[in-house]
């Protein structure tokens, strides 16, 4: 019985020493550039939306999407993003009355789209490049009161983002909104104040 306990103790100490030695060796070597360099792995987080009021009469919001990745071109399907011409009615634009704190109700629509998306709906951004579009915040879509301050931001989910130029997005990838370098994920801008 004593021999068995000695053997178990030796095995336990050996296992502990092996694990401790392996972790200290791994800690003494720097991680490779592929695991620490954000430029090596493009991600949805490399895409940033920024907002600004571009016109008070009529009220327009300038939406800019920038590819902040250092070396990778990104291709974005603009469906259900602030770059979509239907953006105000898709639930991606959020407007809050600064005085009351209440969100402005914007009628939402559900859109059935024909697949695959047409290539004209793809936005290609080279590293550091931006795409800017304007959103009209008036008319039957949005009811805002003159003389009132509001805060606006955009948030939602990308349907598809590819870490490659648009010409490298194949028909199968486009039809399935996946495959190859395809990604999906959330986006959200900072809040911006504006006045009517």
pLDDT: is 191 or 3 the higher one?
191
pLDDT band of 14, cuts 50, 70, 90: low
Which carries the bigger pLDDT value, residue 29 or residue 14? 14
pLDDT tens for 16-54 read 444 444 444 333 333 333 333 445 589 999 999 999 999
Q: Percent of the chain beyond pLDDT 90?
A: 63
Q: What is the pLDDT of residues 160-177, one digit of tens each?
A: 999 999 999 999 999 999
Query: What is d(CA 59, CA 55) in angstroms, rounded to the nearest whole number?
Result: 5
For the entire predicted model, the pTM comes to: 0.77
Give the integer Cα–Cα distance in Å for 91 and 143.
15
Q: What value does the mean pLDDT of the chain take?
A: 84
Nearest to 161 by CA among 87, 88, 75: 75
List, in order, residues 6 or more apart from 1 with CB less than 8 Å away.
none
CATH architecture of residue range(s) 39-195 = Sandwich (2.60)
Pairing of strands 192-195, 122-125: unpaired
């Amino acid at each position: 019985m004593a021999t068995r306990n000695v053997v178990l103790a030796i095995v336990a100490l050996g296992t502990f020493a092996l694990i401790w030695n392996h972790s200290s060796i791994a800690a003494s070597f720097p991680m490779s550039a592929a695991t620490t360099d954000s430029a090596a792995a493009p991600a949805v987080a490399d895409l940033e939306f920024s907002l600004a009021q571009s016109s008070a009469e009529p009220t327009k919001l300038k939406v800019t999407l920038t590819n902040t990745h250092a070396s990778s071109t990104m291709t974005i399907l603009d469906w259900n993003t602030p770059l979509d011409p239907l953006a105000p009615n898709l639930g991606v634009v959020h407007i809050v009355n600064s005085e009351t704190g209440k969100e402005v109700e914007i009628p939402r629509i559900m859109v059935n789209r024909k697949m695959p998306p047409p290539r004209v709906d793809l936005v290609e951004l080279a590293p550091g490049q931006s795409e800017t579009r304007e959103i009209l915040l008036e008319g039957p879509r949005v009811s805002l009161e003159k003389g009132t301050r509001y805060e606006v931001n955009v948030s939602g989910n990308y349907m598809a983002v590819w870490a490659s130029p648009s010409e490298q997005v194949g028909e199968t990838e486009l039809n399935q909104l996946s495959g190859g370098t395809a990604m999906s994920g959330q986006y959200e801008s900072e809040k911006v104040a504006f006045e009517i």
